[in-house]
Copies of this chain bind each other. A is one copy, B any other.
Amino acid sequence: MSTSGSTQHRVSIALDARSYDIVIGTDVFALPSTYEALPDATCAALVSNHTVAPLYAQQLAKALGERYRKVIQVVLPDGEAHKSWQTLNLIFDALLAAGCDRKTTLFALGGGVVGDMTGFAAACYMRGVPYVQVPTTLLAQVDSSVGGKTAINHPMGKNMIGVFNQPLLVVADIATLTTLPQRELIAGLAEVIKYGPIADGAFFVWLEANLDALLARDPAALAHAIKRSCEIKAWVVSQDERETGLRAILNFGHTFGHAIEAGLGFGTWLHGEAVGCGMAIAAQLSANVGLIPAAYALRIQRLIERAGLPVRAPALGVQRYQQLMSVDKKAEGGETRFVLIEAPGKAVLRGVPDADVATVLRACGA
């Protein structure tokens, strides 16, 4: 494996004592030097899933073996449907069975589900051990592995149970994307596309011009998209770690998206697919309430559609959508709030009258 040092980028998240770097590069996750600045510990626990572990766990375990006396592996079932207490407990069971102490470092090797659960487990194991994100999906590299949101799902809502817990390091290796199924690459593009309308009008234009290269997995295009996405996310998270304000803009499309996921049953649509559709609805809603011209909403929808993401909402019925959205974490004092686009590259969080929500849902096929 080559070091490919020249292709490495570093994006820093500034959070005082909890600051950390995102390393973006090719063939970096299996290099022992990638982990050399981590705190000393006797034990490392590599958490992955049944899909990713056969591809990359051995390489990572080998690199970790040069630093840690004991490296244990925990392999979880794959998929959003397993983002539950039961699966989380598999991590605790393995850590305790191996006698892992409170300095043990966890490594999340996989997509968003593995990352969210490993980060949550790290927060709770013996009241907190450190962890590292090694995301292997585009979605995790540009979004879920960065920013310290960890969670599991509850039957009544996605990501309802979790904590903010920043990793020590994120290692986004573009080489791991070569094995990613196209459906998952496309789902990841939903979160990439998100950063344009909410924070960077120029990036949105770049995406319109480079979408085909991204779909063809052009490494340079992917590297730029990941880096720019991480920079925007780092900027947002550094200002509002615990989502008391600004950070909510990262949930563009997510209120509708979460309702789709919960309504269809977690795992039926991929998270990114639901978010893609949710952004299409939210863009339309932004135009309907007069924030942006209909033409800009259409450009957003067009880009989502070109990526291969759904833009029509599953027909669950408007009432069911509204019921599912009422438990959303952004709801406060009974009102559901939405991230809307108020100008290219600028988002706002605001309450919307139920009637307007119903109208846009109906128009989008709900």
Give chain A's interface residues, CB within 8 Å of chain B.
Answer: 42, 85, 89, 92-93, 96-97, 99, 101-103, 123-128, 149-151, 154, 156-157, 160-164, 242-243, 326-327, 329, 331-334
Contacts and interface: CB of A to CB of B under 8 A. Distances in A.
Nearest to A103: B332
A337 to B, nearest CB: 11
Contacts of A128: 163-164, 242
A92 B334 contact: no
A95 to B, nearest CB: 9
B326 A125 contact: no
A129 B89 CA distance: 23
A333 B100 CA distance: 8
Contacts of A160: 92, 96, 125-126
A329 B126 contact: yes
Contacts of A157: 96
A101 B42 contact: no
Contacts of A332: 42, 101-103
Contacts of A96: 154, 156-157, 160, 327
A42 B331 CA distance: 12
A123 B163 contact: yes
Given A42-B333, A102-B329, A125-B160, 9 more contacts: A92-B160, A96-B160, A96-B327, A99-B334, A101-B332, A103-B333, A124-B163, A126-B329, A127-B242
Contacts of A97: 156
Nearest to A102: B329
10 contacts: A85-B85, A93-B154, A97-B156, A99-B327, A101-B334, A124-B161, A124-B163, A126-B329, A127-B150, A127-B163
A162 B92 CA distance: 11
A235 to B, nearest CB: 20
Instruction: Name the 3 nearest CB pairs between A and B, nearest first.
Output: A96-B156, A126-B329, A42-B333
A333 B154 contact: no
Given A97-B156, A126-B329, A333-B42, A161 B92 contact: yes
A89 to B, nearest CB: 7
A304 B326 CA distance: 54
B99 A89 contact: no
A42 B327 CA distance: 14
Given A42-B334, A96-B154, A96-B156, A162 B101 contact: no
Contacts of A151: 127
Contacts of A127: 149-151, 162-164, 242-243, 329
A27 B58 CA distance: 62
A162 B99 contact: no
A333 B156 CA distance: 41
A124 B162 contact: yes
Contacts of A102: 329, 332
A149 B125 CA distance: 13
